[in-house]
Amino acid sequence: MSAHSLSELRAVNSFAALPAVFHTRLAPQALNNPRLLHANADAARLIGLDPSVLSTPEFLGVFSGAQPLPGGDTLAAVYSGHQFGVWAGQLGDGRAHLLGEVEGPEGAWELQLKGSGMTPYSRMGDGRAVLRSSVREYLASEAMHGLGVPTTRALALVVSDDPVMRETVETAAIVTRMSPSFVRFGSFEHWSSRRQPDQLRILTDYVIDRYYPECREAGNGEPADADVLNLLRAVTRRTARLMADWQAVGFCHGVMNTDNMSILGLTLDYGPYGFMDGFRLGHVCNHSDTEGRYSWNRQPSVALWNLYRLGGSLHALVPDVEGLRAVLDEFEPAFTSAFHSRMAAKLGLAAWRPDDEPLLDDLLKLMDANQADFTLSWRRLADAVSGQRSPFEDLFIDRPAASAWLDRLLARHAQDGRPAAEVAAGMNGVNPLYVLRNHLAEEAIRAAKSGDAGEIDTLLKLLRNPYVEQPGHEKYAGLPPDWAGGIEVSCSS
């Protein structure tokens, strides 16, 4: 049974039930003359919403910020965080409004507007988000979901002519995001930095009870240190797996500040992210990241650094420093084992063996030296397994080196002794053909600026099944055009 109007949705609002200090209740600032540029029927299904509702005035009213979500409880949440390695103090939803939480067929989802006006946490910001960054967030979350990477989702993209000042004058948009929770590492840092362990306890209990009930040790029902350590362990493991996922698809987040780290291990807050075209171990996707703090090869160690900030916050509840450290020590092996198992699958190996390390390292070094296209280098390995070596070799300036490396891979496959067709099919199931390259997002943005959502629609359909070749869409699977190298993405959004 799906809801045929927003008022039929089942509201829950668990975050709103936390004490008043966790948030500020306030209405969004609606966009003027809003238009629905795109709505996502897949995400609607998650909250039990019939797709017919997406084209109604009621839907536009709520997701342009003009009307509250029926049964919801609109608010902005407070959090703090470390930005680029430096303590930034209080942050919070400076341009986002949580509309409410809805029970769907397979669990509850929070619905949040982004770009919906100023809040008490806006600091110097205007509370708005531009069309460009809203399209990028809308597309990226669905692309990551299609790849099988844990992520927040996107329900709707509403645009307007309201001017927003960035480097130039742009127009305002609102993207509606969905997540079981938008709690971040920085939500915990907020209370520990203020030395308010009671609030930290409330937040921790809320997160455990609602999202990690398996972390509760059987006891007398009272919160125990072990529960908190279990939570940190669960978050550590999920974050480690997420990093392995990002590395495996060549995704760079761009702003891995602690306020952008989901407590659920989801990809959160898409800003100057990038899927790599030409591979560089030290690729930096964010033009504002002049030090390269968040380069591709540093993402796992930055995640651990961020987990240390979370662990440090939880220290206010758990005096056992050694216990906390021991849990954080689980990150490295958890990441390595997840990374190796993904890489084994990408290489077409039956299982990872410790002596496979040089095979992988040498491929990455070769790709780096040749700036070979990340997505196509992996995808075309399956062609080589099927006897066609040139599609892969064509990606490398140093063709003999690429060929010599392929010989090593095929010799390794021979040791597994599995049928080539089976190996190739398995590889194509984990090495995507389509990713949201910057230039594809850029073309969708250009069309969106003139009110045309056709490219967004095409990309969503394609990226929903990124591992399956879809006839007629060759240009989306090709190398980027020359102008793609000139695209700069920065913190400006």
Binding residues, as ranges, are: 92, 94-95, 114, 126-127, 177, 184, 260, 269
Say which of 259, 277, 289, 373 is annotated catalytic. Answer: 259
User: Which residue's CB atom is positioned nearest to Mg ion?
Assistant: 269
227 binds Mg ion (CB under 5 A): no
Q: Output the smallest distance, CB 199 to Mg ion, in A.
A: 21
| Helix or strand run (H / E) with residue 315 | none
Could you tell me which stretch among 217-225, 260-268, 300-308, 369-377 binds Mg ion (CB under 5 A)? 260-268
* Residue with Cβ nearer ligand AMP (184 or 379): 184
- What's the gap between Cα 68 and its chain centre? 27
Could you tell me which stretch among 53-61, 123-131, 136-144, 276-284 binds ligand AMP (CB under 6 A)? 123-131
* Burial bucket for residue 290 (CB in 10 Å: 0-12, 13-18, 19+): exposed
132 binds ligand AMP (CB under 6 A): no
113 binds ligand AMP (CB under 6 A): no
Q: How far apart are CA 178 and CA 156, in angstroms?
A: 10
| Helix or strand run (H / E) with residue 240 | helix 225-249
Q: Is 361 a catalytic residue?
A: no
Q: Residue 95 binds which entry of ligand AMP, Mg ion, none, with Cβ cut-offs from 5 to 8 Å by kind?
A: ligand AMP
User: Which residue's CB atom is positioned nearest to ligand AMP?
Assistant: 125
Could you tell me which stretch among 26-34, 85-93, 176-184, 322-330 binds ligand AMP (CB under 6 A)? 85-93
Q: Output the smallest distance, CB 52 to ligand AMP, in A.
A: 33
- Subset of 236-275 contacting ligand AMP (CB under 6 A): 255, 259-260, 269, 271
Q: Residue 442 binds which entry of Mg ion, ligand AMP, none, with Cβ cut-offs from 5 to 8 Å by kind?
A: none
Q: Residue 227 binds which entry of ligand AMP, Mg ion, none, with Cβ cut-offs from 5 to 8 Å by kind?
A: none
122 binds ligand AMP (CB under 6 A): yes
Q: 476: which 2 tokens?
A: 């989306």
128 binds ligand AMP (CB under 6 A): yes
Q: Residue 122 binds which entry of Mg ion, ligand AMP, none, with Cβ cut-offs from 5 to 8 Å by kind?
A: ligand AMP
28 binds ligand AMP (CB under 6 A): no
Cβ distance 248 to 276 under 8 Å? no
Report the residue from 93, 101, 277, 393 that binds ligand AMP according to the rule CB under 6 A. Answer: 93
What would you measure as the largest C-alpha separation in the chain, in angstroms? Answer: 67
Cβ distance 252 to 285 under 8 Å? yes
Q: How far apart are CA 261 and CA 183, in angstroms?
A: 9
Q: 217: which 2 tokens?
A: 């040790």
Q: Output the smallest distance, CB 433 to ligand AMP, in A.
A: 30
Residue recorded with tokens 């299982």: 351
The secondary structure of 330-393 as a DSSP string is: THHHHHHHHHHHHHHHHHT-SS--GGGHHHHHHHHHHHHHHT-BHHHHHHTHHHHHTT--HHHH
CA torsion 461→286→127→439, rounded to 10°?
Answer: -30
Q: Which residues are annotated as a binding site for Mg(2+)?
A: 260, 269
269 binds Mg ion (CB under 5 A): yes
β-partners of residue 267 are 151
Q: How far apart are CA 137 and CA 131, in angstroms?
A: 10
Give, as one character, the DSSP assignment of residue 10: E
Q: Report the DSSP pairing between strands 23-25 and 107-114.
A: unpaired
Q: Output the smallest distance, CB 425 to Mg ion, in A.
A: 39
Could you list the beta-strand ranges (E) of 64-218. 75-77, 80-83, 86-90, 96-104, 107-114, 129-130, 153-165, 169-179
Report the residue from 151, 247, 260, 262 that binds Mg ion according to the rule CB under 5 A. Answer: 260
* Residue with Cβ nearer ligand AMP (182 or 211): 182
* Residue with Cβ nearer ligand AMP (263 or 477): 263
Residue ranges that bind Mg ion, judged by CB under 5 A: 260, 269
Annotated catalytic residues are 259
Residue ranges that bind ligand AMP, judged by CB under 6 A: 91-95, 121-122, 125-128, 255, 259-260, 269, 271
